[in-house]
């Protein structure tokens, strides 16, 4: 067996299950889970209708590159959302994938060259654990960049030394961030593109939360958007990952895409032809319908704004809250250990939250996720408000 498998750490939800083991929550109230970022808003009917209308295509093999109509719909969406000036080529710069989770993992396997010294894959800390596992199984060394209140919950890239950049082959960027909701500004993205060209690495920008922003007039900027604006219209060394899971409340569809640098996309396509992960044809048609419609996305944002406002009102004064710029998570600091608070919330209030330390690694003697919890506001509004009241009660008893 691949010895690198032994380097993988337990997934956060495995650790959460172990943390809750043996606890007996009160049975006089329903369980509310704020731990998993699984959207619970209704999936738009246009997606289901397109799936059903194309079920007859189950008899045919899909192609790895995907339907031209899907790649065109994605390119049109990218152009409209990020003002690319029709510079994205659906033939060479867009590749459908079965959700960003598998693509983010597979990308490192295709991107990292096994060299000496061992290459580095840089990533934010806390982070989506797929980044770490992808790096390890690609034979690379993860390098964790802390995201703290002092750095605006984004990595301080200016603190990365030249020797680290020299060994870097891949940078995972997550903006809007999971779990913090922080957004990298245009200046930061431009600086990273310049660094990628100077030190010869690829930026993998995970933008799957980009459509869940609080200010309708201030959508988060994207890597390709900045790349085009600064005179890098071929998106050299820039690759973005987008998904319908959060944007369109369709996590079960397993549909997303990768777009950017044509040479990198072509090499990734070669990898995927052997990987065997072509998107089913009926999923492709459903995806076309989703990327062509913005009405349901705007309605989705309204629902999340309502929940953020209601939960923030209940928790005001109980927890130090910072509303995120985007995403559907709250990332409050905790008055006691994050794991102890998570245990108490489950045992006393039947609410499950995710300890922040489960989403991060200790580096240079500090774990930036400690004394934080992640609250995923994915449940219906009334459940989110009920959970917030229970959290407040629990904290007031401390």
Tell me: the pLDDT tens digits for 174-225? 999 999 999 999 999 999 999 999 999 999 999 999 999 999 999 999 999 9
78, 88 contact by CB (below 8 A)? yes
Q: How many CB atoms lie within 10 A of CB 248?
A: 26
How far apart are alpha carbons 106 and 35 in whole angstroms?
25
Q: What is the second-level CATH architecture of the domain 45-293? A: 3-Layer(aba) Sandwich (3.40)
CA distance 357 to 372: 7
pLDDT at 276: 85
Give pLDDT, residue 175. 98
pLDDT at 310: 98
Instruction: Give the global pTM.
Output: 0.96
Cα–Cα dist 310/379, whole Å: 13
Q: How many other CB atoms are there within 10 angstroms of residue 336's CB atom? A: 11
pLDDT of residue 86: 82
The CA distance from 191 to 22, in Å, is: 49
Nearest to 55 by CA among 238, 334, 280: 280
State which H helix or E strand residue 145 sits in. strand 141-146
Report the C-alpha gap between 384 and 183 in whole angstroms: 24
Query: Pick from 222, 114, 90: which is nearest to 170 by CA?
Result: 114
User: Which of 144, 133, 143, 145 has the alpha carbon at shortest distance from 108?
Assistant: 133
Q: How far apart are the first and last CA of the chain?
A: 48
Distance CA 96, CA 283 (A): 11
Residue 60: predicted pLDDT: 87
Give SS3 for 176.
coil
Q: Where are the domains of the chain?
A: 3-42+296-396, 45-293
Give the pLDDT of residue 286.
98
Check if the beta carbon of residue 370 is closer than 8 Å to that of residue 356.
yes
Q: What is the DSSP letter of 169?
A: E
Topology annotation, domain 3-42+296-396: 3.90.1150
Is residue 190 within 8 Å of residue 157, measured between CB atoms? no
- What pLDDT score was predicted for residue 85? 87
Give the position of tokens 């690609």. 138
Output the average pLDDT for the chain: 96
CA-closest candidate to residue 185, choices 219, 141, 140? 219
SS (H, E, C) 48-77: HHHHHHCHHHHHCCCCCCCCHHHHHHHHHH
| Average pLDDT by stretches of 10, the chain with 398 residues | 92 95 95 96 96 92 95 98 93 96 97 94 97 97 97 96 98 98 98 98 98 97 97 97 98 97 98 92 97 98 98 96 96 98 98 98 94 97 98 96
Q: What whole-number distance in Å separates Cα of residue 385 and Cα of residue 56?
A: 43
């Amino acid at each position: 067996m691949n010895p690198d498998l032994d380097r993988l750490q337990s997934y956060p939800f495995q650790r959460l299950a172990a943390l809750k083991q043996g606890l007996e929550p009160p049975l006089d109230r329903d369980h509310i889970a704020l731990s998993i970022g699984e959207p619970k808003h209704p999936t738009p009917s246009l997606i289901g209708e397109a799936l059903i209308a194309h079920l007859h295509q189950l008899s045919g093999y899909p192609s790895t590159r995907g339907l031209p109509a899907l790649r065109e719909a994605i390119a049109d969406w990218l152009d409209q959302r990020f003002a690319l000036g029709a510079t994205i080529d659906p033939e060479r710069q867009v590749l459908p994938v079965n959700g960003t989770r598998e693509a983010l993992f597979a990308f490192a396997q295709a991107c990292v060259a096994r060299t000496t010294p061992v290459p580095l894959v840089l990533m934010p800390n806390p982070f989506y654990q797929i980044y770490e596992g992808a790096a390890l199984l690609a034979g690379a060394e993860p390098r964790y960049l802390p995201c703290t209140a002092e750095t605006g919950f984004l990595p301080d890239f200016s603190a990365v030394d030249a020797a680290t950049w020299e060994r870097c082959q891949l940078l995972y960027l997550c903006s809007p961030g999971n779990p913090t909701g922080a957004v990298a500004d245009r200046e930061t993205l431009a600086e990273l593109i310049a660094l990628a060209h100077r030190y010869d690495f690829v930026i993998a920008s995970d933008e799957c939360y980009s459509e869940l922003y609080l200010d309708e007039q201030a959508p988060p900027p994207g890597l390709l958007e900045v790349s085009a604006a600064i005179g890098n219209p071929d998106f050299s060394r820039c690759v973005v990952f987008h998904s319908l899971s959060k944007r369109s409340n369709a996590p079960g569809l397993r549909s997303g895409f990768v777009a950017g640098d044509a040479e990198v996309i072509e090499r990734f396509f070669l990898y995927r032809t052997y990987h065997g992960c072509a998107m089913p044809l009926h999923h492709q048609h459903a995806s076309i319908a989703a990327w062509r419609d913005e009405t349901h996305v705007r309605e989705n944002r309204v629902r999340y704004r309502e929940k953020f406002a209601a939960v923030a009102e209940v928790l005001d004064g109980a927890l130090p809250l910072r509303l995120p710029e985007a995403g559907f998570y709250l990332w409050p600091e905790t008055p006691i250990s994050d794991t102890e608070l998570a245990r108490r919330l489950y045992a006393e209030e039947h609410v499950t939250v995710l300890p922040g330390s489960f989403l991060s690694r200790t580096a240079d003697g500090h774990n930036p996720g400690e004394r934080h919890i992640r609250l995923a506001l994915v449940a219906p509004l009334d459940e989110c408000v009920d959970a917030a009241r229970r959290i407040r009660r629990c904290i007031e008893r401390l």
